[in-house]
Amino acid sequence: MTIAVVQYNAGNIQSLLFALQRLGIHPCISDDARVLRSADKVIFPGVGEARSAMTYLRERGLDTVITSLQQPVLGICIGMQLLCAYSEEQHTECMGVFDARVQRLVPVIEGQKRLKVPHIGWNIVQTRPHPLFAHLPSEFYAYYVHSYAVEPVPETIATTTYTRTFSSALHSNNFYAVQFHPEKSGEVGMQVLKNFLEL
């Protein structure tokens, strides 16, 4: 099985590569359309800012390549957000695989506690029954680092609440996406990656 990781200017992917290697996978990191299209699975990870990431993708035609892929694709963190239609971050038009908006998280005060943004750390993921969450409980903790999040939509397969409830996972056709970082989420995150690789 060949796994391709999309190469673009969106943060450090080293922890993802280590996680895949622990699963016995040695992925190809590439921005070559032929490599991405020929892979059995494609992972679209990243951290960073939406507008500059989309500019980079469009300049290289990678936005068209990614949206045309037929095999299972997993977006992670900003990879999930860029697969949506629009991001409030720098008012960015994204790829539109998911008909959803990415909205800024706003700090709130709950009782004695101030919920700060960015949202950094562990939080509860509440899931619907789905192959991406096979062999996992309906609620589990995962690790987040983000200031923007996807609104709940029909394609939402998991939610998390922090300042408000947002989509922590999406699925439409061959496209899957998670806002949390499975590669930093311990055993449950490894199971999510394993489940994706087995789709």
Helix-strand-coil split of the chain, %, nearest 5: 25, 35, 35
d(CA 132, CA 197): 9
Q: Which residues are catalytic?
A: 77, 181, 183
How many CB atoms are located within 10 Å of the residue 4 CB? Answer: 24
d(CA 163, CA 110): 9
d(CA 28, CA 2): 8
List, in order, residues 6 or more apart from 166 with CB less than 8 Å away. Answer: 103, 105, 149, 150, 151, 152, 159, 160, 179
List, in order, residues 6 or more apart from 153 with CB less than 8 Å away. Answer: 98, 99, 100, 167, 170
